[in-house]
Amino acid sequence: MKGLKIVFWVLWRIWFYILMIIPIVLMFPFLLLSILTESGYPYFFKMARIWAKFVLFGMGFYYKIDKTQEMEYQKSYMIVANHTSMTDIMLMLALTRNPFVFVGKKELSKIPLFGFFYKRTCILVDRSSSKSRMEVFNRAQKRINQGLSICIFPEGGVPDDESILLDTFKDGAFRLAIEHELPIVPITLADNKKRFSFTFFSGSPGIMRVKMHAHIETFGKNGVDRKEIREQVREVIYTQLMSFEATKKNKLPQNITQ
C-alpha cells in the first residue's frame, strides 16, 4: 500500500509541473504581448487567473471561499496570507478579480517557462540583500501608483518545520500599507499544507478552504502603529487557523472569526 502511495505522489508531483506548463504554452503569444508594456498587466492578470484555476482543478483541488468583506474592484489593497505551499500562488490568483502584483522570492524565477513570466511581472526580493529589500519598496510604490494591489506572504517564506502553524510576520507589507494608506486584506488558507506541502511524498486532491477577513484600515496611521497592525493581522489569521484545526479534529460546525 505504501509503495502505491509513493508511485502516486511521484506521478502526481510530475503532473503538477505539467499542468503549470500547458496553459503557459497555449497562451504564450498573448502572455508575451501583455507584458510588453506595464499597461498590459491587467490582461496578463486575467490570463494568470485562468492558468491558476487550470492547475488547481487539474490537480483535483476545489476551493471554498468565505468572505466577511468584499474587495472593491479597481481599488488598491495590501493582500496578506499565510504561506505553506506552492499552490498558495494559484489560490490567491483565483480568489479575486482585483489585479495585484506578488512580492516573492527570486528563487521561483528559475522554474522553466513559469520563471520567465514570474520575474517580469512580480516584484522579486533577495531576502539576504538589504539593497534588494529597498528596491522592493520602490517597485511596489510604482505598481500602487498604477492602481494595482500588492500581495505579500508576510512570514517571508515557508518554515522548514511544517509543525509551525503560523510563523512570525515581517514588517514589509505593513510598512507599505501604512505609507500608501492601503486597506489590508487578511486571508487565511486552511488546507494548502495538507493538500500540497513542500514535503515531496505527501498531499492529496480535495477541498481548499479560504477565509477572506474584514479589511483593516491604515488611513491616518504611521510607523509607530506598524507593529500593532502587524500583530493584529497575524492574530486574525492565527485565530482562524486554530478554528480550522479545531473543526478538523472535532468535526464540529466551523466557528468563523472576523
Question: What pLDDT, in 10s, does the model give residues 33-61?
Answer: 999 988 899 999 999 999 999 999 999 99
The pLDDT, as a whole number, for residue 115 is 84
Q: Which pLDDT value is given to residue 257?
A: 45
Gyration radius of the chain over CA positions: 18
- Map out the domains of the chain as residue ranges: 61-250
Instruction: Evaluate the CA torsion angle 11, 115, 136, 220 in order and state its sign.
Output: negative
According to the model, what pLDDT value does residue 163 have? 87
Q: What is the pLDDT of residue 258?
A: 47
User: What pLDDT is attached to residue 133?
Assistant: 66
Can you tell me the distance from the alpha carbon of 83 to that of 165, in angstroms, rounded to the nearest whole number? 10
Strand extents, DSSP E, 53-167: 61-67, 78-81, 100-105, 123-125, 149-152
**Which among 125-139, 157-171, 183-197 has the top mean pLDDT?**
183-197
pLDDT tens for 97-147 read: 999 999 987 777 778 788 888 888 998 877 666 666 678 888 888 899 889
Residue 141 pLDDT: 86
Report pLDDT for 214.
97
Q: What is the pLDDT of residues 211-256, one digit of tens each?
A: 999 999 999 998 899 999 999 999 999 999 999 888 766 654 444 4
Which pLDDT score, from 0 to 100, does residue 46 have?
Answer: 96
Q: What is the 3-state secondary structure (H, E, C) of 3-66?
A: HHHHHHHHHHHHHHHHHHHHHHHHCHHHHHHHCCCHHHHHHHHHHHHHHHHHHHHHCCEEEEEE
pLDDT for 47 equals: 96
Name the average pLDDT for the chain.
89
User: Which pLDDT value is given to residue 65?
Assistant: 95
Query: Which CATH number fits the domain 61-250, given the four candidates 1.10.3720.10, 3.40.1130.10, 3.90.190.20, 2.60.120.620?
Result: 3.40.1130.10
Q: What is the mean pLDDT of residues 194-209?
A: 93
Whole-angstrom distance, CA of residue 185 vs CA of residue 229: 12
Q: Give, in order, the Cα–Cα distances in Å from 185 to each of 120, 173, 214, 254.
A: 25, 11, 7, 21
Over range 180-190, report the average pLDDT. Answer: 96
Least confident of 18-22, 58-62, 179-183, 198-202: 198-202
